[in-house]
């Protein structure tokens, strides 16, 4: 992947703060990255690391406190024109973690899937709407008659498909998938991942894939950013990140992936990340290119001598 | 741990059938299951949602829903048949003190209005009456907190569940289970709600506690990937019946049942980038109707003709390894497991 690829999203020194004054909590503390058109950009980190907040800031759900989010070159955080707002709503969509909680229990699938469409175009004819719903359902592998049913009639995997159809109907260019498979059974996980992959192939959708689990990430993402306490600590292409992980936190995440090999698993040493290993008080870390295309948050000493283990 | 057949059996399930009545219909959730659990082992029961894995273990503690009942079979524990237990009074002797359970979601299994120290102390007072006096109970609670890896127990004792992270709460739940002084610990998806790093730490913790407290551990999970580390034996459940059981080595390195193959193949850990992940087509059979033949046959693209007609018997592959598939019949064609899972031994980590 080289620099000549089109940058779809450019995030520059993004900060997100919740609360104010003494109670202020900075959930995202200056992250910068670019997402190229058509790629899958993975954001991995533990609960509370701020990975979801980054996704939601891009969606304009959380206001940003500093920094810029550029979408196709224009700024989309803070105050923007009504027209741009509508464009963003249509072009950036989201898929949520829990398919049991993210669908309106009292609405039929037909309404759930087309609600966003109606919001953008109130004059949409009923026939046109139904046609688009049917098409979106077909694309995610659901039958057209499902449109008249309620969410509780479906299994977890089917519900997640409905969530994906709801995003697809808007014909988005970018989908932010926030832990889309962690609430699903293993066998259904594979189905949903395959569906997302095939949609990307046929429609060229860009994904921002948020998860806590590197085992899914390394299969699914082109590039991965590792987030720890509101900062990206390492970013590289998937293969590069896995074979040349440098940051101790990335290493801890890698060592935690459970592998289906009992003998090896029993011998495996678990790496636990200890943030006190860094000497950042006197020598603060900087975001730098460590190998070509491989970025890392480290201070001078760590670059020279390597990270303490 | 090597499993020998002459090892002491702590709990034995014999030809157990569990049914539920739902809207006038009968659902056959556990279909003639037999299983011996050995003292001191950790065994994992693996299956999809709805396979009956939770129903089976709930029946060991008398926790079946009101519309569920054991229609036949035995659950032998400590010389008694738990399947015959009816009253709550009988069950109280088993629950906690003999068999304890850790649930999936630590957020919902703690009382938000009581300090965690008080919640552990409650279990100590109830199940270890020989520990007398406030101080003695409190010291015991401190010891449990330390054993589950919670530092500064004096401070943590007085805190409420909302002051703990998900992983820490699961540790508290484990401490409560330990305070009951159980012989068998059932862990029902103990880590699915947790992050990977925390998941790995909790698994290690359970492994250490098993040795320290001389426990027998029964894991329930849908994810074969997470049990390789901890399970001595793995039992694969499908549609209310075990289709394969063996040591972890047997099941991961030499799986025999097509359903085990399918479960292993669909692990994202084994996926090759750019290629489709393996998926299991279709849905499990309805257990309202009698299952004909091999329950997995309709979803198995390589099913044999006989799979649709007759249920396979249990074939013994070795002393420790058994599977219920016609593929093991001498007359069956020789089918190789799918390529992706043939060589799990010495798998390159993330190759």
What's the pLDDT tens digit per position in A214-259? 888 888 999 999 999 999 999 999 999 999 999 999 999 998 888 8
pLDDT at A309 over 70: no
All residues at 6 or more sequence positions from A247 whose CB lies less than 8 Å from its CB, including other chains: A226, A233, A234, A296, A297, A298, A307
Range with the lowest mean pLDDT among A175-179, A216-220, B65-69, B216-220? A216-220
The torsion angles phi and psi of B339, rounded to 5 degrees, stand at -60, -40
Q: Do B200 and A254 touch (CB under 8 A)?
A: no
Q: What is the three-class DSSP state of B26? A: strand
Q: Nearest residue of B to residue A251 by CA position?
A: B197
Chain B residues near residue A219 by CB distance under 8 angstroms: 268-269, 271-273, 277
Kind of pairing between the strands at A25-36 and A7-18: antiparallel
Report the alpha-carbon distance of residue B281 to residue B298 in Å, rounded.
9
Where do the domains of chain B lie? Answer: 106-181, 250-341
Q: Please give the share of chain A, as a percent, with pLDDT higher than 90.
A: 64
Which pLDDT score is estimated for A26? 93
Per-residue pLDDT of B281-329, as tens digits, reads: 888 888 988 999 999 999 998 899 999 999 999 999 999 999 999 999 9
Report the alpha-carbon distance of residue B266 to residue B280 in Å, rounded.
8
Which pLDDT score is estimated for B105? 79
pLDDT at A308 over 80: no
Segment B41-63 mean pLDDT: 93
Which pLDDT score is estimated for B6? 64
Q: Do A190 and B277 touch (CB under 8 A)?
A: yes
Which pLDDT score is estimated for A43? 96
pLDDT at A188 over 60: yes
Segment B211-230 mean pLDDT: 92
Q: Do B267 and A268 touch (CB under 8 A)?
A: no
Q: Identify the structural domains of chain A with CATH numbers, from first to last.
A: 7-229 (3.40.50.300), 245-309 (no CATH)
Nearest-CB residue to B197 (from A46, A48, A186): A46
Q: What is the three-class DSSP state of A251? A: helix
Does any CB of chain B come closer than 8 Å to the CB of residue A215? yes
- A 152-191 residues inside an 8 A Cβ radius of B: 155-156, 185-187, 189-191
pLDDT at B278 over 60: yes
Chain A residues near residue B266 by CB distance under 8 angstroms: 186-187, 189-190
Confidence of residue A185 (pLDDT cuts 50, 70, 90): confident
Q: Do B349 and A254 touch (CB under 8 A)?
A: yes
Chain B residues near residue A48 by CB distance under 8 angstroms: 165
Which pLDDT score is estimated for B275? 83
Q: Do B197 and A252 touch (CB under 8 A)?
A: yes
Which pLDDT score is estimated for B4? 57
Which pLDDT score is estimated for B183? 96
Which pLDDT score is estimated for B347? 64
CA distances from A207 to A43, A295, B223, B282 (A): 11, 20, 26, 28
pTM of the shown model: 0.88
- pLDDT mean across residues, chain B: 91
- Consecutive H or E run containing B66: none
Per-residue pLDDT of B228-261, as tens digits, reads: 989 999 999 999 999 999 999 999 999 999 999 9
Report which of B37, B279, B85 is spatially closest to residue A197, judged by C-alpha positions: B279
Q: How many CB pairs below 8 Å do chains A and B form together?
A: 134
Report the alpha-carbon distance of residue A245 to residue B189 in Å, rounded.
30
Does any CB of chain B come closer than 8 Å to the CB of residue A269? no
Q: Nearest residue of A to residue B51 by CA position?
A: A185
Range with the lowest mean pLDDT among A58-62, A275-279, B186-190? A275-279
Give how far B88 is from chain A: nearest CA, Å: 34
Q: Do A218 and B349 touch (CB under 8 A)?
A: no
Report the alpha-carbon distance of residue A20 to residue A113 in Å, rounded.
37
Q: Do A261 and B263 touch (CB under 8 A)?
A: no
How far is the first Cα of chain A from the last one, in angstroms, to the nearest whole number?
31
Give how far B114 is from chain A: nearest CA, Å: 25
Report which of A185, A200, A168, A222 is spatially closest to residue A43, judged by C-alpha positions: A222
Which pLDDT score is estimated for B351? 38
Report the alpha-carbon distance of residue B207 to residue A55 in Å, rounded.
36
Q: What is the largest CA-CA distance in chain A?
A: 66
User: Partners of B69 in the beta sheet?
Assistant: B19
Segment B163-192 mean pLDDT: 93
Q: Do B277 and A193 touch (CB under 8 A)?
A: yes
Give how far B49 is from chain A: nearest CA, Å: 7
Q: Do B222 and A272 touch (CB under 8 A)?
A: no
Q: Do A257 and B273 touch (CB under 8 A)?
A: no
Confidence of residue A304 (pLDDT cuts 50, 70, 90): confident
Confidence of residue B107 (pLDDT cuts 50, 70, 90): confident
Backbone torsion region of residue B79, taken as left when φ is above 0, otherwise alpha when ψ lies between -120 and 50, otherwise beta: left
Which pLDDT score is estimated for B331? 92
Confidence of residue A132 (pLDDT cuts 50, 70, 90): very high
Q: Do A259 and B48 touch (CB under 8 A)?
A: no
- A 217-256 residues inside an 8 A Cβ radius of B: 218-220, 238, 242, 252-256
């Amino acid at each position: 992947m080289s620099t000549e690829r089109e940058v779809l999203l450019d995030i520059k020194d993004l900060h997100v703060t919740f609360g104010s004054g003494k109670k202020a909590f900075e959930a995202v503390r200056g992250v910068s990255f670019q997402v190229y058109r058509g790629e899958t950009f993975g954001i991995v980190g533990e609960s509370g690391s701020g990975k979801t907040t980054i996704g939601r800031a891009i969606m304009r759900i959380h206001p940003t406190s500093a920094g810029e989010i550029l979408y196709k070159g224009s700024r989309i955080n803070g105050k923007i024109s009504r027209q741009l707002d509508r464009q963003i709503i249509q072009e950036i969509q989201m898929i949520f973690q829990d398919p049991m909680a993210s669908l309106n229990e009292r609405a039929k699938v037909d309404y759930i899937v087309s609600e966003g469409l109606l919001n953008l175009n109130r004059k949409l004819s009923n026939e046109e709407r139904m046609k688009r719903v049917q098409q979106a359902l077909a694309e995610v592998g659901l039958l057209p008659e499902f449109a008249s049913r309620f969410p509780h009639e479906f299994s977890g995997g089917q519900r997640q498909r409905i969530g994906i159809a709801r995003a697809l109907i808007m014909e988005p260019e970018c989908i932010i998938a926030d832990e889309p498979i962690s609430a699903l059974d293993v066998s259904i996980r594979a189905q949903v991942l395959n569906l997302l992959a095939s949609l990307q192939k046929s429609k060229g959708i860009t994904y921002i894939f948020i998860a806590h689990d590197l085992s899914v990430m390394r299969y699914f993402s082109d590039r991965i950013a590792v987030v720890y306490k509101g900062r990206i600590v390492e970013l590289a292409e998937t293969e590069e990140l896995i074979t040349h992980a440098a940051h101790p936190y990335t290493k801890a995440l890698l060592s935690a992936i459970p592998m289906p090999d009992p003998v090896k698993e029993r011998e495996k040493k678990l790496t636990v990340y200890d943030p006190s290993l860094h000497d950042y008080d006197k020598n603060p870390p900087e975001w730098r290119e460590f190998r070509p295309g491989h970025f890392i948050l480290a201070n001078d000493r760590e670059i020279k001598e390597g990270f303490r283990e | 741990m090597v499993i020998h057949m002459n090892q002491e059996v702590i709990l034995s399930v014999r030809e157990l059938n569990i049914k539920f009545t739902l809207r006038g219909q009968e659902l056959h959730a556990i279909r003639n299951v037999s299983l011996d659990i050995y003292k001191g082992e950790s065994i994992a029961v693996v299956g999809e949602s709805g396979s009956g894995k939770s129903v089976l273990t709930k029946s060991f503690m008398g926790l079946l829903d009101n519309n569920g009942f054991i229609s036949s079979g035995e659950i032998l524990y400590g010389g008694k048949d738990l399947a015959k237990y009816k009253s709550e009074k009988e069950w109280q002797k088993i629950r906690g003190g003999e068999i304890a359970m850790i649930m999936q979601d630590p957020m919902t299994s703690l009382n938000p209005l009581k300090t965690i120290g008080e919640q552990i102390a409650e279990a100590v007072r109830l199940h270890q009456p020989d520990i007398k006096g406030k101080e003695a109970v409190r010291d015991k609670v401190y010891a449990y907190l330390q054993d589950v890896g919670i530092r500064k127990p004096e401070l943590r004792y007085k805190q409420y569940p909302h002051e703990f992270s998900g992983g820490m709460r699961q540790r508290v739940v484990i401490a409560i289970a330990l305070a009951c002084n159980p012989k068998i610990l059932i862990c029902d998806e103990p880590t699915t709600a947790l992050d990977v790093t925390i998941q790995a730490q909790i698994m290690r913790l359970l492994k250490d506690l098993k040795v320290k407290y001389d426990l027998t551990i029964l894991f329930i999970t849908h994810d074969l990937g997470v049990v390789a580390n901890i399970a001595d034996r793995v039992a694969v459940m499908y549609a209310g019946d075990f289709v394969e059981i063996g040591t972890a080595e047997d099941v991961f390195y030499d799986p025999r049942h097509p359903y085990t193959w399918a479960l292993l193949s669909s692990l994202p850990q084994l996926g090759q980038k750019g290629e489709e992940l393996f998926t299991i087509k279709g849905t499990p059979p309805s257990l309202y109707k009698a299952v004909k033949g091999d329950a997995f046959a309709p979803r198995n693209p390589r099913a044999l003709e006989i799979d649709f007609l007759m249920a396979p018997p249990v074939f013994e592959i070795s002393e420790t390894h058994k599977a219920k598939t016609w593929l093991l019949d001498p007359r069956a064609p020789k089918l190789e497991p799918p390529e992706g899972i043939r060589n799990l031994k010495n798998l390159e980590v993330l190759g």
